[in-house]
Chain A
Amino acid sequence: MDTTDVPQEGSATYGGHLKAMYARNPDGRLVLVQSRGWEVEETVTRQAVLAFEELAAAALERVRAGQSAPLEVHMYRARMDVSVLAQASGLWRWQVRRHLRPAVFARLSKALRARYAQVLGIEPDQLDVID
C-alpha cells in the first residue's frame, strides 16, 4: 500500500479518532500514516454491532409477548450472549438460561439481581426497565 492509497473515508465507527497504518512513501520506505477509516473495516464493524442490535430487538419482542425476561434484552444491549454473561457473572450457563424465563426472573433474589446489574453496568432497579 502506498501512502497515497491509505484510505481516508471517515468511518463513523472510529468516532472521530484516527488510526495509524504503515504504508510505502514515494521513496519506497514504510512510514506511519494516519487513516480516517476504511469502508471495508466500517462494514465489518457495523455488521458485528448490528448483529447484537438485531438480537436485542428480537428479545424485546419476546419480552413484550411474555416469552422472555428483560434480562435477555439487557444482555444483548451489553453486547453479551449467554456464555459471556455466565462467565462474567460467575454463574453456570444453564442458570443464566433459566433466569431468562419470565417466571424465574420475577423471583430472582436481591443478591443475584445485584450481581447481574453489576456485570451489565446498570443499577439493580433498571433490570426491569427495557425501554
Chain B
Amino acid sequence: MSAIVRHYGLPFSEPMAFGLSSALTFAFLPFIKISGQPLVSYRMPPRTILRGLQKPLRFSMRTETFRRPEDGMARLDQLLDAGQVVGLQASVFWLPFMPPDFRFHFNAHNLLAFGRDEASGDYLLSDPVLEEPVRCASADLAKARFARGLLAPKGLLYYPAHAPQEPAWEQAIPAAIKKTTRNMLRTPLPFIGVRGINRVARAFERLPAAANPQATKLYIGHLIRMQEEIGTGGGGFRFMYAAFLEEAATRMARPALAELAAQLVEIGDLWREFALATARMIRDRDPLDPAHLATLLRAQAAREKTFFTSLEKAVRRS
C-alpha cells in the first residue's frame, strides 16, 4: 500500500499507512470458515486499508473487477504500459513464487505489479510476504487473480486516479487514532475489538481438549497462524502500530504517543509469548490446556483495554 504512495514521490512508511487507515483491530468471526477454521483477523482487510487512506491523502483509488480473465489481464497490461503501479488481489495458492508451505487457499492476498519483462512476458511483482521483487508468468497470475471461492478476487486491481498529496498530519493522525480506539473499545458487535479477544478466550475454554486433542490443536494453531504468519511485523500487527505511534509522536511533537508506543511493544511481546505457549502445547512439550491459554487471552484483552483507553485520552487532550 505505502509503496503505491511512495511511487508518487511522497515519503510514506508502511506503519504510517497502517496507522492512518486505522487498520489495527481484532476480529473473531466464527461463522466465516476458512478450511473449517474460524476467521480471525488482527487487522482490517486490505480494501478497507485502501479506502481509509483516501481521505487523509486526498486522492481517490480506482478499483476494477472483471468477469473475464482476458479482460482483467489486458487492463493490467494497459495500466502497466501507462507507467502505473497496480495493486492486485490474488489467491496465495496459485502464486508459484510463494514458499510451498505458505500456499493455502486464501483469496484475499494483495500484491503490487510494477512492470513486465518484455522478453518473457513475465510480470514483475512486489509481494508483502517476501522481501525481494519476484516475477510471475502471465498464465499463473491470471489463475491466481481469478481463483473462485470465498472472498474471490474477481481480478480486482486498484490504482490511484490522481497523485496523493501530503496529508494534514495534525488532523489526520488524531482522527485515525480515534477511529482505532473506538473500534477496539466500543463496537456494538461482541466479536470485534477487546470483546472479541474475550470471546476467543471463551471459545478456547469450550474446546474438547480431552476428547479430541487433534482438533483442539488445529484450532489453537490456526489462531497463531493468523497472528504470526500473515503479513509483516508479528505480534498480530501490534509492533507495526507501535511504529506508527512512534512516527506520529515525532511528526506531531507529542512525546506521550512515544510512551504509549513502548507500552504497545510490551503488549506485542506478550502476544508472542502467548504464541510460544500455544506452540509448546501443539508440540506436546507442555500438557494441552486451552483453559490456561484462555487466561492468557483474557489478560491480553484487559491490557489492550487499558492501553486503548489511555491512547484515547492522549489524543483527546489536544
CB-CB nearest in chain B for A51: B218
* A22 at the B interface (CB under 8 A): yes
A-B CB contacts (within 8 Å), total count: 125
Partner-contacting stretch, out of B111-119, B198-206, B232-240, B309-317: B232-240
Interface flags for B224-262 (1: CB within 8 Å of A; 0: not) read 110011001111000110110010000000000000011
For B268-287 the 0/1 string (1 means CB < 8 A from A) is 11001001101100110000
Q: Which of B43-51, B143-151, B155-163, B172-180 contacts A (4 or more CB under 8 A)?
A: B143-151
Does A81 interact with chain B (Cβ within 8 Å)? yes
State whether A45 touches B239 (Cβ < 8 A).
Answer: no
Return A123 CB to nearest CB of chain B, in Å: 14
* Known contacts A1-B265, A40-B279, A84-B35: A47-B102 contact under CB 8 Å: no
Residue count of chain B within 8 Å CB distance of chain A: 51
Listed in ascending order, the chain B residues whose CB lies under 8 Å from chain A are 15, 33, 35-36, 93-94, 99-105, 129-131, 143, 147-150, 152, 217-218, 221-222, 224-225, 228-229, 232-235, 239-240, 242-243, 246, 261-262, 265, 268-269, 272, 275-276, 278-279, 282-283
* A/B interface sample: 24 pairs, CB < 8 A: A1-B239, A13-B99, A15-B100, A22-B15, A22-B240, A22-B243, A29-B246, A30-B239, A30-B265, A40-B272, A41-B229, A43-B221, A44-B224, A44-B228, A44-B229, A46-B101, A47-B217, A47-B218, A47-B221, A79-B35, A84-B35, A84-B150, A87-B152, A121-B143
